Amino acid sequence: MPTVQPCRWDNKTLPYVPEQPCLLYYLIPGDDVSHMAVPNARGEYPNLIPGMPYLEELLLELDNEEEIEDNAVLPLVEYAPPPLTADAGVQVEWTDVPIPPPPHMMRYVKPLTETTQSVTGSDCSPSTTQEFGGED
């Protein structure tokens, strides 16, 4: 776990916006694993639970300005995903799609027809039912 300090959130104001971008860690009572709360795209924490002991990650101060530029934290959400491009090599028209041969299509039709005939040919009609009772 990184170096942390108690969170400066007042447990009342939502969303919580820390002075510097950071991650919040918290422990659920009875659980030994520390969980992490991640901010939204604006750096806000809108879903914090009042009374939960949150810990703020301490960012180490870098002395060299070049290291600061190299290690700058940039929010990934601000960059748009690459545009969707259609691969011209795999695009075909509906008229170019191959049609399966009729024997292949009959594989899917025959079992359905046989099942329908076996069910309709069964002897479950109301006229064949007998009433059970004593002999007269």
Exposed (0-12), middle (13-18) or buried (19+): which is 88, by Cβ within 10 Å? exposed
When computed from its CA atoms, the radius of gyration of the chain, rounded to whole angstroms, is 34
pLDDT of residue 69: 58
In order along its 136 residues, the chain shows pLDDT tens digits of 467 788 888 888 888 998 888 888 888 878 878 888 888 888 899 888 888 888 888 765 434 455 555 555 544 444 556 667 777 777 788 888 888 888 888 888 756 555 555 555 555 545 444 555 555 4
Q: Where are the beta strands (DSSP E) in 13-106?
A: 24-27, 34-37, 54-57
Alpha carbon distance 35, 4 (integer Å): 13
pTM of the model: 0.41
The number of C-alpha atoms within 13 Å of 55 and in the hemisphere containing its C-beta is 15
Tell me the H-state helices in 1-136: 65-70, 102-120
pLDDT of residue 76: 45
Between the alpha carbon of residue 58 and those of residues 35, 65, 73, 79, 132, the distances in Å are 16, 19, 14, 26, 84
pLDDT of residue 97: 85
Alpha carbon distance 7, 24 (integer Å): 8
